[in-house]
Amino acid sequence: MNNSTFKEYAKQAKQRLTSGFWEKVQNKDTTSVATKATVFDSIYNQQAFEEQSEFLQKVQMVLQNSDQNPIMQLADQDYLKTLSVEQKQSYLLKLSQRFLSAKETLAKMNQNK
């Protein structure tokens, strides 16, 4: 294992700690195979980690330039145009939940500095 891989694993572990990942896992029934697979994927899924890191960076930029609606700044406008009214509501609700979670994660990370 090279040094950069080790650093990436450490970064992922720190993010799991600061985001409350283990508290969420502890509250779930971890005896089922599906839940164990989900936990495993959450820990070792590099693509999801990179997407989350990119999203956190976007949220941080949106928060710094908060003159407009942050949810609409994060939303994919082209994708939004293709959705029905119900699908738009669902998409925006999920995005707002993800935004709030990212905002809490960033606040925790700033406290730990």
What is the per-residue pLDDT across 5-28, written as a single tens digit (0 to 9) for each?
667 778 877 887 787 776 766 666
pLDDT at 87 > cutoff 70? yes
Buried b (16+ CB within 10 A) or exposed e, 24-47: ebeeeeeeeeeeeeebeebeeeee
* All structural domains of the chain with their residue ranges: 3-112
Global confidence as pTM: 0.56
DSSP annotation of 83: S
